[in-house]
């Protein structure tokens, strides 16, 4: 069954494909706020035998429609009931319209079944995994405990305020009755929390109205983007994806800002400013934090707030700090807004120091990760699965790991810093950074190159050995400009070969590798955002036909999904294997931020001239 999600602020509602909010029907169903499922069941009950009609879904509303007979003797359905649920900020508005088309009086009793659970979203997601692997739907049927309208744990005090359209009602012949109700969710933390402090209880203010268009794809894309926006005191911040990542993610928001900089420069500015607030200023091994590092994610769930897991403010990402510097430089180039960059300069300089003091801990010129938190991520690139860095043989690489694309980001970050310092009049500093970039490029093209494969290794392991699996990661290096011209053609040909290109997009791992699995998270699946970075790189090096081929494949893939969205990822099965169909990844987020950003990259690939509008 398809999961349906509505959101217009910080409250998120999940229902099944029939518009029913009930965790016994869809294990993820409910009302969520700040990484907590407050309500696991909310649905209308009456004393009539209702016949359910086709529901209607928007990105901020669900409309459920029913018909029933005014009496057991009525020859036709003659009473119509329409229930509209619409989210706004941290609240859910409920409207019921009853129309009596009969010639007699109709009496009806309306009640809502409501169950409050206050469950950590990580635990809900864990249940999903078990549920998908079970053939018994009843596994979680009776597990949900009603905890009432108020609840308290060690981290927070939770409250549900409700005024529902319930009671006994009478409709005269041909009469119409409208009832309104509301649910509002409140969560008060027991400790200080920066993320909580900046959130606002309102719908997004993002200027979507500026995009007045008859283009259905652009309309849907903008609407999906609005769903993801987190209202804050500093502007609307794009969350990573629904339902599992409705929060701040450093890497995801930075890549989205780069994908859409020409369209949404204000969002790029907000991303830079808010991520600057969360920049680490001290060492904390539990949270993989060191001074200058940009945050991986922020969470408000019980497990994180209670320090049972490190994700309240977690820094286990090797690339977000580099992407932050890249975005700062690209934002300045695109807008000329030197004032914002001057305001952020202490944060930018702290991020630069992170490179020298922590990113390149062994002073070999490359940025590597070495996890310090036992409960955090053990793989800290964008492919963060435990098994995503392996040799051809399937043997896992041991840290510290220097990802290939991260060195590309480092190269690009040096150029970004050089440009920023040049604009600030710091000529010598700018020159030194260009020299660093030049030296890095020279060494990189030797140290990561697999001569036999005519391709780049996915990484260097802790012994500086080339991790020789063939993956999509070097494709992202095209975007950064770090690849020597004489190697580019080899890289492009490998990316477009059958072992990597599925017909729907470039796979994360070659079909020839030991760990290839089209249904794995990072070892053979197709990620639209990964492909978008590759597309940007192909265009940078003049491979426009290849960029168009991947772009067209992704658009075709999107058309195969019932919600007509590009999801977070999908399986790596080829067109030939599926006879022209597409096979989904079961717990993929949709909508997902950088998958939305991919559509803007595709637009640039298929309409490379600025000002031509959206496809």
- pLDDT of 2: 81
CB atoms within 10 A of CB 557: 21
Over the stretch 221-269, which tens digit does the pLDDT of each residue have?
999 999 999 999 999 999 999 999 999 999 999 999 999 999 999 999 9
Over the stretch 93-130, which tens digit does the pLDDT of each residue have?
999 999 999 999 999 999 999 999 999 999 999 887 65
CB atoms within 10 A of CB 184: 18
Geometric angle at alpha carbon 577, from 573 and 580, rounded to 5°: 90
Answer yes or no: are the C-beta atoms of 551 and 489 closer than 8 Å.
no
| Residue 274: pLDDT band with limits 50, 70, 90 | very high
- pLDDT of 415: 99
Share of the chain above pLDDT 90, in %: 90
Give every CB contact of residue 216 below 8 A, 6+ residues apart in sequence.
none
Answer yes or no: are the C-beta atoms of 60 and 7 closer than 8 Å.
yes
Per the listing, tokens 């987020």 go with 589
Check pLDDT > 50 for residue 131: no
Helices (H), 448-543: 473-480, 485-495, 528-540
Check pLDDT > 70 for residue 329: yes
Check pLDDT > 90 for residue 316: yes
Q: Which long-range contacts (CB under 8 A, 24 or more apart) does 271-274 make?
A: 271/237, 271/238, 271/327, 272/324, 272/327, 272/328, 272/331, 272/340, 272/344, 273/234, 273/235, 273/340, 273/344, 274/198, 274/232, 274/234, 274/235, 274/237, 274/248
Tokens of 519: 């249904």
First to last CA, the chain: 31
Cα separations in angstroms, 291 against 173, 198, 347, 367: 72, 22, 10, 15
CB atoms within 10 A of CB 210: 9
Fill in the DSSP letter of residue 339.
Answer: H
3-state secondary structure 317-336: CCCHHHHHHHHHHHHHHHHC
What is the pLDDT averaged over residues 69-87? 97
Q: Helix (H) and strand (E) counts for the chain?
A: 16, 24
As beta bridge partners, residue 107 has 170
The mean pLDDT of the chain is 95
Check pLDDT > 50 for residue 142: no
Q: How many alpha carbons fall within 13 Å on the CB side of residue 9?
A: 20
**How would DSSP label each residue in 10-47?**
SEEEEE-TTS-EETTTSTT-EEEETTEEEEEEEEEEES
Share of the chain above pLDDT 70, in %: 95
Tokens of 296: 């991986």
Answer yes or no: are the C-beta atoms of 411 and 434 closer than 8 Å.
no
- pLDDT of 129: 63
Answer yes or no: are the C-beta atoms of 540 and 556 closer than 8 Å.
no
- pLDDT of 303: 97
**How would DSSP label each residue in 572-590?**
---HHHHTT---B-TT--S
Three-state SS for 145?
coil
What is the pLDDT averaged over residues 351-363? 98
Give every CB contact of residue 285 below 8 A, 6+ residues apart in sequence.
372, 373
Cis-peptide into 387, omega within 30 deg: no
Over the stretch 471-503, which tens digit does the pLDDT of each residue have?
999 999 999 999 999 999 999 999 999 999 999
Over the stretch 515-539, which tens digit does the pLDDT of each residue have?
999 999 999 999 999 999 999 999 9
- pLDDT of 587: 87
What is the pLDDT averaged over residues 49-74? 97
Check pLDDT > 80 for residue 287: yes
| CA gap 586, 569 in Å, rounded | 9
Give every CB contact of residue 422 below 8 A, 6+ residues apart in sequence.
430
Check pLDDT > 80 for residue 213: no
Over the stretch 368-419, which tens digit does the pLDDT of each residue have?
999 999 999 999 999 999 999 999 999 999 999 999 999 999 999 999 999 9
Tokens of 97: 């319209």
In the chain, the domains with their CATH numbers are 4-189 (2.70.98.40), 194-606 (1.50.10.10)
- pLDDT of 141: 43
Over the stretch 146-169, which tens digit does the pLDDT of each residue have?
889 999 999 999 999 999 999 999
| CA gap 252, 296 in Å, rounded | 9
Cα separations in angstroms, 295 against 79, 208, 218, 308: 54, 27, 30, 19
| Residue 139: pLDDT band with limits 50, 70, 90 | very low
CB atoms within 10 A of CB 273: 17
Three-state SS for 554?
helix
Over the stretch 170-183, which tens digit does the pLDDT of each residue have?
999 999 999 999 99
| Residue 208: pLDDT band with limits 50, 70, 90 | low
Over the stretch 3-33, which tens digit does the pLDDT of each residue have?
999 999 999 999 999 999 999 999 999 999 9
- pLDDT of 401: 99
Over the stretch 565-605, which tens digit does the pLDDT of each residue have?
999 999 999 999 999 999 999 889 999 999 999 999 999 99
Tokens of 145: 């405990």
| CA gap 415, 433 in Å, rounded | 7
């Amino acid at each position: 069954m398809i999961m349906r999600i509505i959101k217009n602020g910080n409250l998120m509602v999940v229902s099944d494909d029939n518009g029913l909010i009930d965790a016994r029907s869809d294990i993820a169903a409910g009302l969520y706020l700040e990484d907590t499922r407050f309500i696991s069941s909310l649905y209308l009950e009456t004393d009539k035998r209702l016949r359910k009609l086709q529901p209607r879904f928007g990105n901020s509303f669900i409309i459920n429609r029913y018909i029933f007979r005014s009496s057991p003797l009525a020859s036709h359905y003659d009473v119509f009931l329409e229930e509209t649920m619409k989210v706004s900020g941290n609240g859910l508005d409920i409207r019921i319209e009853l129309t009596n088309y009969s010639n007699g009086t109709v009496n009806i009793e309306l009640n809502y079944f409501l169950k409050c659970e206050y469950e950590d979203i990580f635990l809900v997601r864990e249940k999903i995994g078990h549920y998908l692997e079970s053939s018994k739907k009843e596994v979680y049927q009776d597990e949900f405990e009603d905890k009432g309208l108020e609840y308290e744990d060690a981290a927070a005090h939770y409250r549900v305020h409700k005024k529902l359209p319930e009671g006994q009602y009478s409709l005269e012949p041909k009469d119409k009755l409208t009832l309104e109700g509301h649910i509002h969710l409140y969560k008060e933390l027991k400790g200080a929390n920066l993320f909580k402090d900046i959130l606002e209880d309102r719908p997004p203010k993002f200027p979507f109205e500026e995009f007045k268009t008859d283009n259905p794809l652009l309309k849907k894309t903008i609407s999906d983007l609005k769903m993801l926006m987190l209202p804050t005191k500093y502007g609307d911040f794009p969350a990573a994806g629904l339902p599992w990542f409705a929060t701040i993610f450093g890497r995801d928001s930075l890549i989205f800002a780069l994908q859409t900089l020409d369209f949404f420069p204000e969002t790029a500015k907000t991303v830079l400013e808010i991520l600057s607030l969360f920049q680490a200023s001290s060492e904390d091994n539990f949270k993989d934090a060191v001074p200058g590092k940009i945050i991986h994610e922020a969470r408000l769930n019980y497990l994180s707030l209670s320090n049972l897991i490190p994700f309240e403010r977690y820094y286990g990402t090797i690339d977000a700090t580099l992407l932050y510097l890249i975005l700062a430089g690209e934002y300045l180039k695109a807008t000329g807004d030197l004032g914002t960059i001057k305001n952020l300069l202490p944060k930018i300089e702290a991020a630069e120091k992170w490179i020298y003091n922590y990113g390149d801990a062994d002073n070999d010129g490359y940025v590597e990760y070495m996890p310090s938190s036992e409960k955090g991520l053990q793989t800290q690139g964008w492919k963060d699965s435990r098994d995503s860095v392996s040799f051809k043989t399937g043997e896992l690489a041991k840290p510290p790991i220097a990802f290939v694309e991260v060195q590309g980001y480092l190269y690009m970050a040096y150029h970004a810093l050089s440009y920023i310092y040049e604009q600030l009049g710091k000529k010598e500093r700018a020159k030194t950074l260009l020299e660093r970039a030049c030296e890095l490029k020279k060494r990189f093209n030797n140290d990561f190159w697999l001569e036999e494969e005519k391709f780049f290794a996915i990484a260097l392991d802790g012994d500086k050995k080339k991790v020789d699996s063939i993956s999509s990661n070097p494709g992202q290096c095209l975007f950064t400009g770090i690849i020597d011209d004489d190697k580019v053609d080899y890289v492009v040909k490998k990316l477009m070969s059958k072992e990597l290109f599925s017909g729907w997009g470039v796979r994360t791992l070659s079909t020839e590798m030991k760990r290839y699995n089209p249904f794995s998270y990072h070892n053979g699946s197709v990620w639209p955002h990964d492909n978008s970075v590759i597309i940007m790189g192909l265009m940078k090096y003049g491979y426009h036909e290849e960029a168009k081929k991947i772009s067209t494949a992704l658009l075709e893939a999107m058309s195969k999904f019932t919600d007509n969205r590009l999801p977070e990822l999908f399986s790596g099965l080829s067109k030939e294997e599926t006879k022209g169909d597409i096979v989904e990844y079961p717990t993929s987020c949709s909508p997902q931020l950088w998958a939305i950003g991919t559509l803007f990259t595709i637009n640039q690939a298929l309409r490379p001239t600025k000002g031509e509008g959206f496809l």
